[in-house]
Structure 1
Amino acid sequence: MRTLLLFLAVSALAQDPHATWSDYGGAADSAQYSSLTQINKTNVTKLKVAWTYSTGDSGKYAFNPLTANGLLYVEAKNGSLVALEAGTGKEVWTYPATAGLITTHGVNYWESADHKQSRLLFTQNLILKALDARTGKPIAGFATDLREGLGRDPKTVAVVQSFTPGKVYKDLLIMGSATNQEYDSAPGDIRAFSVLTGKLIWSFRTIPHPGEFGYDTWPKDAWKTVGGANAWSEISLDTKRGIVYIPTASPKYNFYGGNRKGMNLFGDSLVALDAATGKRVWHYQMVHHDIWDYDNATAPKLITVKHDGKMVDAIAQAGKQGFLWVFDRTNGKPLWPIEERKVPKSDVPGEEAWPTQPFPTKPPAFARQSLTDKDLNPFLSAEETAQIKDSVLSARNEGLFTPPGLRPTVQMPGNNGGANWGGAAAVPDKGLVYVVSKDFPAILKLEPDGTRAAAQTSGAEAQGQWVFGQECLKCHPSDLSALNGKFTREQLRGIIRNGKGTMPAQAQVSDGDANLIASYLLNPQRARHETNVPQRYFSSFGFMVTSSGLSAVKPPWTTMTAYDLNEGTIKWQIPLGQVPDLAAKGFTDTGAHFPKTNPVVTATGLIFTGTRDKMVRALDSETGKVLWEFETPAGIEGMPAIYEIAGKEYVVFCAAAAATTRTHATPGHPADNSPVRGSYVAFALP
């Protein structure tokens, strides 16, 4: 009898995709929802640490663990993939990261219909790979170069590996990609690969080719040269209908589109594809001709709501602008009206900002969408407040879609604000969605190519490339292949300072510039490359960060917003997390600063989440009230996993991120710049 009951219990778990955690985000639908019921509002305060597993290094991790076959899969040990006993945290096997870092936010799990085979699929150093999920041994012959098949020379594709895994549909792995941020980035094709062979099965081109739907929303040759419009974040799958939902990002370059005039489908869109074939089912574009970097950065949430007296299978997409977009997921029709409103024109030569943008009329926005001089951080000195106030007042500031220009322009909630990866959870059958958001304003300013200011908007390699052009190019060739790793950074700096052979010492080059030149010479592939764009403009991301390291806007900096999408209303909104040194002074409602906070909601009315203040918390999903909290060894970035082993429910957090525990050094309280001592921490009832 006991054996029969155990079999029935296991069978029930297998039939309920939300009762296991064998997929990134919990299940194919990326709901970040658990149907397990052992831990509830009554007993959550009794949670204790069941086990911990050290990451074994001081690296920073934001990995969502997966569980299958009694194992828990995590990233640790300098980026290696590690299998643990899910009930004890004991290490079983390790796949070392000797060939480069694996997908940093999670991996995919596949199991054959007869349950005889199971695989872990992930990208590593631009290569799609597979392991035997039970043993950790690589699958022989399975290695697909993701730079190929994009219609570009693979040698020119520097970045294509996403931080997040894709979704498995039957024997297909459907994936997006993370392109670079430059004009020469790769196109953001959505691709499906065989989980058995790694072979490319289908592609959906987000920058359409001639004859494809949306081709007329770009210049005629854009498909040959323009990149981005990619899905770098998370995707969701309706397994019943066989539809995969893809939230896409901006075309590149992020802040200037003179080389890509038009609406630019399928950039910044929610695209529904037939998961078996890649054929478009429907789409909706949230930003036309994006020049703000307003990506759709969270997984869309598949929910069922009561709307106009009928039950509707819907989909909700949270974005960087602070809007929550809600559609019928079968046909893409909005549940509430979306208005096309006129927005400001660009004054940048060659740019043609799209004249209108879509604005949802319902539900209300979850983030602040404007910034004035009355909204500044109250914890600043009078001098710094005056400086920031002057910056805001002197900038162009005409709302959410103020185009970047040669004069500074204000962004709010910012290109790194609003909702980001892992930032939303849902109760699928009740139409409830919970969104974590940050308000992080920015001031953008475009700089013309060829200037030092333009070079400074990128990394050290691009800056070094500019200095090299000014100081070295007259005597040295631009072809750097002859160097080919011959010198170290210190050797290159020494040659610049002291000379070598017929080359004299370059006394006019500062130590800082010498270091930048060395960065370029060591990694020229990471510098900027020539393109056919007649005039290029560049901007930094322009984050408005104060001398204390905090945002220039007044708190709350991070919020969680609860939506009832049966009504299209906000149930509650709370500040999420704290900045400890401010909390010690009585300022407890600031919200954490600069989070990547990923919630998980449960059938028992709990929301589990962690923040960069080292705290994990359980909230009441009805009210947002904190019911339980616990301090972990490091900050939290990424979502927890909830699963059951041998009748016991576990909640596991990856506590391995830099902790924003203090704003800055103060007497007796040094700034917290200590190395991360990360671990995976599992909680359970006694």
Structure 2
Amino acid sequence: MRTTGKSLAAQLVSMIFLCMQLATPTAQADSDSEHIHHPQKAEWPSFGRDYSNQRFAPSTIINRQNVNQLAEAWRFKTGVVGSFQTTPIVANGVMYLSLPYNHVVALDARTGKELWRYEHQRRPEWKMCCGPANRGVAVAYGKVFMGTVDARLIALDARTGKLVWDIDAVDQAVETEGQASLDSKDPNSRAKVSGGTGIGIAMAPIVYKGKVLVGITGVGYGLHIDNPREDAPLGAVIGLAGRYGRPGFIAAFDVDSGKRVWQFDTISPEQWLGQFTVKTADGITLDRDVATEKAQARQHPDAWRYGGGSAWSTPALDTDLGLLYFGTGNPSPQMNDIERPGDNLYTVSLVALDIETGKLRWHYQQVPHDLWGYDLASPPVLFDWQHDGKTIPAVGQASKTGWFYAHDRATGRLLFKSDAFVPQKNLFHKASKEGTTLYPGILGGANWSPVALDAAAGQVYVAAIHAPITYTLHESIDADGKLLRYTSSEPAEEPRWGLLSAINLADGKITWQHKTAQPLVGGVLATAGGLVFTGEGNGNFAAYDSSNGRLLWQAKADAGVNAPAISYEIDGIQYIAVAAGGNAIFGYKQGDSVLVYALGK
């Protein structure tokens, strides 16, 4: 009996231990998810700080009254010069940074001392679509997760930087357009090219309950022609007809193994053509020849296979509804529709998916049959909308067309569209042989820059671009009598500038605007100290009064500040951190610095 008793006791202990082991992943999943959903003041644990993507810091140590005392606390030189778009992640006193070309460093968030460095070995044969920039990592489960320019998803040990796993997010590269398709007499056939269609990952992943969520980009990018001046914006983007690209997607991967859990393709074979609508969902008439498009549909039944729809922006998550929200890119071929008739679903759309399965719940297409490059590039943001005494969970998105859209999170119903936060002209007019100038155009509006939202103040802050763009239709006949046709978009010879706007969430009216000398790309940080931070391509990094837009403080970096700032606290000190590495597409000086500020002594 004694032996049997010991055996039963041993079995009981084993069963308890096994149950604890089985429960650990769920407990860890719940713990990590809760940590990101309700972060501590000391940390910035995810791209948008929490799942709402509000980029709002609750710290008040730095405020309107003392921000003029802000001084550089430390700086870190990465040694990698290139377009620098990262959002630093701060967890457990460590700052994690993704660098251009997907190198990663971990720093002591108090001092900037380097703790470890991961050197990414990029596949040399893989064509980068969109330059070397990466928008950040995700940190959870003792790992650092990052998508790469060569379309891989990797996991590193958060303590050491050692590679844990490395998987291919896509199975193969795609066919890309080239200058050989242009008439030999065309100057663009001999110009230097800086990018084209090609699969990569730009967004910062997010982690939720054991899954890493990330999407691919570049699948409908177009051919990019360099400007001969390094300090000038991109010269031209060319939309060539052809079978280039593929459908984009967003997918969930297991945090432990990298195994794909689910995938949502941004192009729907069944819904690709849509309803051939002649108006946008908010009632604006489109310049479309529906009869011709329907005839073309019979000639190009498989156009959806090359449909584009990149997933540029880090999703927002509603853990109560079990939904994630993200924006999709333009259809492929970019700006050229002769081989892609229809509405081209689900491109240029805000999309809501079931978090657990990746199944579509709803979508809202801002621009059907997009001909201008009006990707939904800025990350969505969650907030509660107060209307007629009711609280409606809402999701907002700052568009490249120049409006901030707000939707019912559960259904996608449009709640309101803001006043235009940038000038608009010839919106949705087609390219012409003589050239049609419109704005916002391909650069935006609100480009990839994330907004910041102060729920207590009832305002969202948008960094935006005024950049007139000329769209030109090019046609010629080659030696074989074949019609060569493409559309180009290039900066017009008109003034450009930036606009930082505060938009009232109650009615969509603009509360205030601050005009900057250069277009704004990089993003916004808001704090409970009544401040809004953003940077400029000329190196200015500034703090504004969130109530009226008045400039309160400004520092100068030696490269463009074209990344979003963050805030964190350690040992009773509030820090503001931002990457200063410029942006090649906009012609902003590139560099390799991370700048961290705190109140001076």
Bin the TM-score by the shorter chain: 0.7 to 0.9
Cα deviation, 1:307-349, whole Å, max 9, x if unaligned, reads 122112111111111111111112111114xxxxxxxxxxxxx
Which position in structure 1 is the counterpart of 2:231?
none
Deviation for aligned residue 1:167: 2.2
User: Which of these residues, 510, 514, 525, is aligned with residue 570 of structure 1?
Assistant: 510
Contact 2:86 2:98 in 1 (8 A): yes
C-alpha distance in 2, partners of 1:326/1:311? 13
Partners of 1:128 and 1:250 in 2: CA distance: 23
1:241 alignment partner, SS class? coil
Name the counterpart of 1:639: 564
Q: Does 2:138 match 1:109?
A: yes
Partner of 2:181: none
For 2:354, the equivalent position in structure 1 comes to 274
Per-residue CA distance 1:177-215 (angstroms, 9 max, x = gap):
2124244112112222222211111121221134x6977
Which among 10, 20, 38 is matched to residue 16 of structure 1?
38
Alignment of 1:408-419 (within 5 A): 408-419=435-446
Alpha carbons 2:468, 2:491 under 8 Å: kept: yes
Alpha-carbon distance in structure 2 between the residues aligned to 1:425 and 1:641 = 11
- Offset at residue 15 of structure 1 (A): 7.0
In 2, are the aligned partners of 1:208 and 1:215 still within 8 Å (CA)? Answer: no
In the superposition, the TM-score normalised over structure 2's length comes to 0.76
Give CA-to-partner distance per residue, 1:252-275, whole Å, 9 cap, x none.
112121222111211111111111
| Alignment partner, residue 247 of structure 1 | 327
Supply the distance in 2 between the matched residues of 1:660 and 1:229 (Cα, whole angstroms): 20
What is the rounded CA distance, in whole Å, between the counterparts of 2:249 and 2:484 in structure 1? 24
For 2:394, the equivalent position in structure 1 comes to 314
Cα offset, 1:684, TM superposition? 1.0
Contact in 2 for aligned 1:322/1:419 (Cα 8 Å): yes
Equivalent-residue separation in structure 2 for 1:269 and 1:231 (angstroms): 10
2:532 and 2:544 in contact (8 A); partners too:
yes
In the alignment, which residue of structure 1 is the partner of 2:74? 51
Change (3 A) 1:270 1:78: closer
What is the correspondence of 1:523-538 to structure 2 with a 5 Å cutoff?
537-538=485-486
Residue in 1 aligned with 2:212? 173
How big is each residue's C-alpha offset from its partner over 1:493-549, in whole Å with a ceiling of 9 and x where there is no partner?
Answer: xxxxxxxxxxxxxxxxxxxxxxxxxxxxxxxxxxxxxxxxx97632222211x4xxx
Please show how residues 334-483 of structure 1 align to structure 2 within 5 Å.
Answer: 334-336=414-416, 362-370=417-425, 399-428=426-455, 430-448=457-475
Q: 1:599 aligns with which of 512, 521, 524?
A: 524
- Does residue 82 (structure 1) correspond to residue 105 (structure 2)? The answer is yes
3-state DSSP of counterpart to 1:128: strand
Counterparts of 1:22-171 in structure 2, within 5 Å, are 22-76=45-99, 80-99=103-122, 104-112=133-141, 117-139=142-164, 142-148=165-171, 154=173, 156=175, 159-171=198-210
| Contact 1:423-1:596 within 8 A present in 2 as well | no
Confirm or deny: 8 A CA contact 2:381 2:397 kept in the other structure: yes
Q: Distance in 2 between matches of 1:365 and 1:77?
A: 33
The verdict on how the C-alpha distance between 1:428 and 1:200 changes in structure 2, with shifts beyond 3 A counting, is farther
In the alignment, the residues of structure 2 paired with residue 430 and residue 77 of structure 1 have an alpha-carbon distance, to the nearest angstrom, of 35
Once the 2 structures are TM-superposed, how far is the Cα of residue 299 of structure 1 from its aligned partner? 0.8
Deviation at 1:136, TM superposition (A): 0.3
Q: CA deviation at 1:400?
A: 0.4
Match of 1:613 in 2: 538
The separation in 2 between residues aligned to 1:103 and 1:408, in whole angstroms, is 31
Residue 293 of structure 1: CA displacement?
0.9
Flag structure 2 segments of 5+ consecutive residues without an equivalent.
1-33, 177-196, 223-241, 277-293
Which residue number in structure 2 is paired with residue 186 of structure 1?
Answer: 246
CA distance 1:216–1:334, change in 2 (3 Å): closer
Displacement of 1:173 in angstroms is 1.7
Q: How much has 1:366 moved relative to structure 2?
A: 0.7
1:650 aligns to 2:590 (yes or no): no
State how far apart, in whole Å, the 1-side matches of 2:432 and 2:151 are: 35
Structure 1 residues 110 and 215 mapped into 2: Cα distance closer, same or farther (>3 Å)? farther
Separation in structure 1 between the aligned mates of residue 421 and residue 514 of structure 2, nearest angstrom: 11
**Cα offset, 1:647, TM superposition:** 2.4
- 1:216 CA displacement: 7.2
C-alpha separation between the residues in 2 aligned to 1:678 and 1:121? 19
From 622, 625, 628, the equivalent of 2:547 is 622
**What is the CA–CA distance in structure 2 between the aligned matches of 1:21 and 1:598, rounded to whole Å?**
16
Q: Deviations over 1:431-465 (max 9, x none)?
A: 311111111011111224776xxxxxxxxxxxxxx
User: What is the aligned length?
Assistant: 498
Name the amino acid aligned to 1:234: T
C-alpha distance in 1 between matches for 2:255 and 2:306:
30
Kindly state the Cα deviation for residue 92 of structure 1 after the two structures are TM-superposed. 0.6
> Is the CA contact 1:296–1:320 (under 8 Å) kept in the aligned structure 2?
yes
Change (3 A) 1:416 1:261: same
SS at match of 1:232: coil
Identical aligned residues as a percent: 33
Q: Once the two structures are superposed, what CA deviation does each residue of 1:235-260 show, in whole Å capped at 9, x if it has no partner?
A: 22223322111111110112121222
Instruction: From the superposition, tell whether residues 76 and 206 of structure 1 become closer, same or farther in structure 2 (CA, over 3 Å).
Output: closer
**Equivalent residue letter for 1:364:** D
Contact 2:343 2:368 in 1 (8 A): yes
Partner of 1:358: none
* Aligned counterpart, 1:540: 488
Bigger Cα displacement from structure 2, 65-74 vs 92-101: 92-101
SS in 2 for 1:445: strand
What SS does the aligned partner of 2:68 have? Answer: helix
**Counterparts of 1:657 and 1:84 in 2: how far apart (Å)?**
21
CA contact (8 A) 1:122 1:130 kept: no
CA drift of 1:406 comes to: 3.4
Query: What is the Cα deviation at residue 87 of structure 1?
Result: 0.5
Kindly indicate whether the alpha-carbon contact (under 8 Å) linking 1:64 and 1:105 is maintained by their aligned counterparts in 2. Answer: no
